[in-house]
Chains A and B, each alone.
Chain A
Amino acid sequence: KAGVTQTPRYLIKTRGQQVTLSCSPISGHRSVSWYQQTPGQGLQFLFEYFSETQRNKGNFPGRFSGRQFSNSRSEMNVSTLELGDSALYLCASRRSSGGVTKNIQYFGAGTRLSVL
């Protein structure tokens, strides 16, 4: 079974631009969550999507948005990029129903975003 796939692996953007990151969950997983990892703030929760609906949102400005498609694939968008948005963005999927593993989140390899 394929794992969580994130594309692209690396991105370089300039301030003011916008960026879209993609995440394909493990087959059969309906929940996708996004996290931001920076040296200063550590790992922080951005949002969770389930069945195309945002279920939870972390404490991030409205420039950060996301969506989920009917095949459970998810995209994350950051508009008007700032230098502080440089980070590793991690996507995680989980089954979310049935069985003892429903609460386990499986992570992708991340997208490294550099804002110049």
Chain B
Amino acid sequence: AQTVTQSQPEMSVQEAETVTLSCTYDTSESDYYLFWYKQPPSRQMILVIRQEAYKQQNATENRFSVNFQKAAKSFSLKISDSQLGDAAMYFCAYNGAGNMLTFGGGTRLMVKP
């Protein structure tokens, strides 16, 4: 079974600065997808960014980028120019052959003005 680990329960960042959230996963599959989802207090789960395992190039979406290290099974999220609206729970998720998402425990990100 696949597992996803987020080792930082809480992170804090100053507005306009950069923060990196960590995620590691364990799998024996070679073809899979990785996602970062954001869950604000409204509880709506919002897709932030996705990465296909077969792609070597790291995904980027505006201020959000990932560092995907397939051999190390690491998938970190970097948020640049942090904004107050970025404050939320962030979940790393794995999607393999079963098409079900396996989530990490989440990282609560606080943004200080």
Number of A residues whose C-beta is below 8 Å from B? 24
Q: Which residues of B contact A35 (CB under 8 A)?
A: 101
28 contacts between A and B (CB under 8 A): A31-B99, A33-B99, A33-B100, A33-B101, A35-B101, A42-B103, A42-B105, A42-B106, A43-B101, A45-B101, A45-B102, A48-B100, A88-B43, A90-B45, A94-B99, A96-B99, A103-B33, A103-B50, A103-B95, A104-B35, A104-B47, A104-B50, A106-B47, A107-B45, A107-B46, A108-B44, A110-B43, A110-B44
Contact of A109 among B44, B95, B99 (CB under 8 A): B44
User: Which residues 57-116 of A sit at the B interface, judged by CB distance below 8 A?
Assistant: 58, 88, 90, 92, 94, 96, 103-110, 112
Chain A residues within an 8 Å CB radius of B113? none
- Total B residues in contact with A, Cβ cutoff 8 Å: 21
Q: Report whether over half of chain A's contact residues are helix, strand or loop; otherwise say mixed.
A: strand
- Apart from A43-B101, A112-B43, 13 more pairs, CB < 8 Å: A42-B104, A43-B91, A45-B101, A45-B102, A56-B100, A58-B100, A88-B43, A90-B45, A96-B99, A104-B47, A105-B101, A107-B37, A107-B45
Residues of chain B touching chain A, judged by Cβ–Cβ distance below 8 Å, are 33, 35, 37, 42-47, 50, 91, 95, 98-106
**Are B103 and A107 in contact (CB-based, < 8 A)?**
no
- The interface residues of chain B lying within 8 Å CB-to-CB of A55 are 99
CA separation between A104 and B59, bound complex, in Å? 14
Interface residues as binary, A21-46 with B (CB distance below 8 Å gives 1, 0 otherwise): 00000000001010100000011010
